[in-house]
Amino acid sequence: MPQVELLGALIGEEFERFATLSKIHGQKGVSAAIRTVGTTASAATTRRIQLLTTDLMAAEMRDLRAETSNPSAARISASLPPASRRCSISAYSAS
């Protein structure tokens, strides 16, 4: 799923950015960290993360609706452990 991989990469970049800001805060103080936020912040990246998340959640909802409208798929799904019933974004964002 290229969207999930892209989302993971974007979130990883944001984690790295926040780690850098945290290091700057520890070494140079709040003022330096605040100045750095302005130069490193990317509203476009945040918006892409939001859009990808929305797209993936919508696809998941479509899959769940289709699954529940198909009685045989619903029976198969019901026999699976809860974590196997759906592919959650949170499973990918931790990596």
* pTM for this predicted structure: 0.56
Which pLDDT score is estimated for 93? Answer: 41
Question: Per residue in 66-89, pLDDT tens?
Answer: 877 766 655 555 555 554 444 444
Cα–Cα distance measured from residue 87 to residue 29, given in angstroms and rounded to the nearest whole number: 41
Query: For 41-46, what is the mean pLDDT?
Result: 79
Question: Per residue in 26-42, pLDDT tens?
Answer: 999 988 888 888 777 77
Contact 3/52 with Cβ under 8 angstroms? Answer: yes
Mean pLDDT score across all residues of the chain: 76
Which pLDDT score is estimated for 90? Answer: 44
Contact 89/7 with Cβ under 8 angstroms? Answer: yes
Which pLDDT score is estimated for 88? Answer: 44
Which pLDDT score is estimated for 95? Answer: 38
Which pLDDT score is estimated for 23? Answer: 93
Cα dihedral sign for 60, 66, 68, 74? Answer: negative
Domain spans of the chain, in order of start? 2-79
